[in-house]
Amino acid sequence: LAHEPAHQGIVLLKNSGRSLPLSPRRHRTVAVIGPNSDVTETMIGNYAGKACAYTTPLQGISRYAKTIHQAGCAGVACAGNQGF
């Protein structure tokens, strides 16, 4: 039952500009933007336990490059650009 929706949700992107993987020599500063970019609770869905061993996107990227972080909107349904 879940196979077909999951299959339809897959997106493959062409890496023609060789943007990935990020290189610390080429990408010295990386902007990490989004309301969930530094939050572990949203990564684990409705799991009732305490999130103790998760790395946020901001934490992971900060290990390899200088980062600029902006949460942007308060949630994923953004009505304006006031948080940017």
For 20-69, the pLDDT digits (tens) are 887 778 878 999 988 889 988 777 777 676 667 789 999 999 998 899 99
Number of Cβ within 10 Å of residue 61's Cβ equals 19
pLDDT greater at residue 38 or residue 12: 38
- In 3D, which of 44, 46, 68 has the Cα closest to residue 56? 44
Domain ranges for the chain, please list them: 20-84
Residue 84: per-residue pLDDT: 65
pTM assigned to the model: 0.64
- On whether the CB atoms of residues 20 and 57 are closer than 8 A, the answer is no
Residue 51: per-residue pLDDT: 60
Distance, in Å, from the CA atom of 68 to the CA atom of 37, rounded to the nearest integer, reads 11
